[in-house]
Amino acid sequence: MSDLPQTGLYRLAETIAARRGADPETSWTARLLSRGPEKCAEKFGEEAIEAIIEAVKGDRERLISEAADTLYHLLVMLAARDVTLIEVEHELDRREGRSGIEEKAARK
């Protein structure tokens, strides 16, 4: 049992990590990873655009489905560059409590 938080997103990230080197004939994740980080990034971009389209249209069910595709492909893209979900979460933790308005003002 891993000591990572046991949310669905972490379980998915662990499944994706475990698919490295799996058979691309039987695993979609292995197939994507075998095609390299650029392909994974391209696929993430496509899925994000599909989610954007559903958000603009306002179809809730389609948006939920495309958001799930987008999150999956985001995790694959991160795995392709050896970035873990916990590292992204640490970055979010670092930002916690600091408003985006305040952060933007500090950049000027």
Ligand X SMILES: N=c1c2ncn([C@@H]3O[C@H](COP(=O)(O)OP(=O)(O)OP(=O)(O)O)[C@@H](O)[C@H]3O)c2ncn1[C@@H]1O[C@H](COP(=O)(O)O)[C@@H](O)[C@H]1O
User: Residues in the site for ligand X, rule: CB under 6 A?
Assistant: 12, 15, 19, 27-30, 69, 72
Write a three-state SS string for 55-72. HHHCCHHHHHHHHHHHHH
C-alpha radius of gyration, the chain, whole number: 16
Output the CA angle 91-94-96, nearest 5 degrees.
110
User: Shortest approach of ligand X to residue 19 CB, angstroms?
Assistant: 5
User: Could you tell me if 67 and 4 are in contact, meaning their C-beta atoms sit under 8 angstroms apart?
Assistant: no
Identity of the residue, 38 or 93, whose beta carbon is nearer to ligand X in the bound complex: 38
User: Shortest approach of ligand X to residue 105 CB, angstroms?
Assistant: 38
- Whose CB is nearest to ligand X? 29
User: Shortest approach of ligand X to residue 14 CB, angstroms?
Assistant: 10
User: Shortest approach of ligand X to residue 43 CB, angstroms?
Assistant: 7
Identity of the residue, 75 or 105, whose beta carbon is nearer to ligand X in the bound complex: 75
Q: Which of 62, 86, 83, 77 is nearest to 7 (CA)?
A: 86
Identity of the residue, 69 or 89, whose beta carbon is nearer to ligand X in the bound complex: 69
